[in-house]
Structure 1
Amino acid sequence: MHWSVIEPLLPTKVRGVPRADDRKVLNGIFWRLRTGAPWADIPARYGPHTTCVNRFNRWRRAGHWACILHAISSTYDGDVQMIDSSSIRVHQHAATVKKDERSRCMGRSRGGLTTKIHALVDAEGRPVRLKLTEDQAHDGRSAADMLETVRAGHILLADRAYDGDVLRAEMAERGAWANIRAMPNRVKVFPFSPWVCRQRNAVERFFNKLKRFRAVATRYDKCDDNFLASVQLASIRIWLRSYESVT
């Protein structure tokens, strides 16, 4: 079933020598994503590992992984969305770049170098928008460009890290309800439903599923774009498994 959904979304424009079998190469890419192994350790049954890594990088540069995720996630038409973030430890091999060339999405914390994944998910815990930042980035400010799918009549669920006047005002202008738990020192009171907020555990379950992919649970990629592509591929699998569970 997964292949029947993905195949129509793959790029069809081929120049020069016909490319290696898409299904075999994608299985090799997903194998590496699941195990977190080096590209060179991809089993021979998936073809040369260089074909897998070159296809992954070429389609990442062309934006195909993001387009496939967008096409799959655009089928969502619910009225509840929730946002949260999770920190990922950067592996020592990914951190071996010059200090002045260090990725803007690697932040220094007490645990070392870390990257934060921000995710907007639907009521079923399926990703709608994804973003990377440094670990010390403020959740509320980082969410500013991730909420375009929240429209009139929708509900946005978030924890206290997103409690801010700017975000609440933006949601109110759109006609959406920001059901966000207020900070203890907040003076102005906003409507809040603890029962509705309990549904927010769907975003926690999403991160739990995401970190089952070893190439995501630990960041091995030096390049931000490559790591984000891995997160997108893992999210595609999560969406496809949700389709499979309802058929």
Structure 2
Amino acid sequence: MRRHELTDQEWDALKELLPPGRMGRPREDDRRVLNGIVWKIRTGSAWRDVPERYGSWRTLYTRFRRWALDGTFTAMLSAAQARADAAGDIDWLVAVDSTIVRAHQHAAGARKGGTGRVPVQDHALGRSRGGLTNKIHLACDGLGRPLSVLVTAGNVNDCTRLIQVLAGIRVARIGPGRPRTRPDHLVTDKGYSSRAIRRYLRGRGISHTIPERADQIAGRKRRGSNGGRPPAFDRDIYRRRNVIERCFNRLKQFRGLATRYDKTATSYTAVVTLASLLLWL
């Protein structure tokens, strides 16, 4: 095993999750191809610069795009989460947050989708003071492993995507039963503090720890008795929110994730999904 490659334990867990081969001539060895993809993501290199020991870079890119488009990486991540849940290895105190990722100039050249009735593709790139960026919205369990991932443009407000991130939590059961979609407790920072969000969480029966913003506290005090009581806040539980910061730190050890080089949102989401899968392994 070389640096940046899958260990034997990781490969043993992954090989059962890969889709079967297609009809026709035998395809390239799955382990070598997957090692090449992982090497590329860990180093942030261009596809053409992947070492020849992993085979043709065109084969690696074609396999990566195929698995990104047909949902293979997402299915593999879901299977890894289901195994952990069956073993009782998921802490359902869930933290939600986002992180900004700067886009390299190579990521800015994706072609928009046509004219007329063909909709323009959204490649999840937004322009801000730092240039072109995108944002990773993430929900992780109490052990700092991703449960749900959403990629948007960098200028998208965090609180507008909380419901989508929570809806992305679907941990399947091994055997009968519906997927688990609801955490035991939710922890977020004050960027998610709003009446609409708190109302939504209460409607789903999700207990939560979200600090109030200073302007909300001032407005409630200004209204006096009409301002209502402050929401419950547990400092001890809130201290556990740092698990999502540690999760982001581990994900950004993948240089192909810490800086976005992919032109399309589909490819970059696949990069984040594959890195998340390796954290579960």
Superposition TM-score, scaled by structure 2 size: 0.81
Map of 1:1-247 to 2, 5 A cutoff? 1-74=9-82, 75-76=84-85, 77-97=90-110, 103-148=122-167, 149=169, 151=182, 154-186=184-216, 187=220, 188=228, 189-240=230-281
Check whether the contact 2:91–2:143 (CA below 8 A) recurs between aligned residues: no
How far the C-alpha of 1:79 sits from its partner, in A, is: 2.6
How far the C-alpha of 1:14 sits from its partner, in A, is: 2.0
Check whether the contact 1:103–1:222 (CA below 8 A) recurs between aligned residues: no
Matched residue SS, 1:94: helix
Stretches of structure 1 lacking an aligned partner (at least 5 in a row): 241-247
How far the C-alpha of 1:60 sits from its partner, in A, is: 1.0
Stretches of structure 2 lacking an aligned partner (at least 5 in a row): 1-8, 114-119, 170-180, 221-227
Letter in 2 for 1:36: G
Q: Distance in 2 between matches of 1:68 and 1:98?
A: 29
Matched residue SS, 1:81: strand
Whose radius of gyration is greater, 1 or 2?
2
How far the C-alpha of 1:96 sits from its partner, in A, is: 2.9
How far the C-alpha of 1:104 sits from its partner, in A, is: 4.4
Q: Which moved more, 1:5-14 or 1:19-28?
A: 5-14
Q: Distance in 1 between matches of 2:205 and 2:121?
A: 41
Query: What fraction of aligned residue pairs are identical, expressed as a percent?
Result: 39
Letter in 2 for 1:82: A
Q: Distance in 1 between matches of 2:110 and 2:36?
A: 27
Residues 169-209 of structure 1: per-residue CA shift (max 9 Å, x gap): 12112222110111112225110111111101010011101
Check whether the contact 2:193–2:210 (CA below 8 A) recurs between aligned residues: yes
How far the C-alpha of 1:98 sits from its partner, in A, is: 6.2
Q: Which moved more, 1:94-103 or 1:219-228?
A: 94-103
How far the C-alpha of 1:151 sits from its partner, in A, is: 2.5
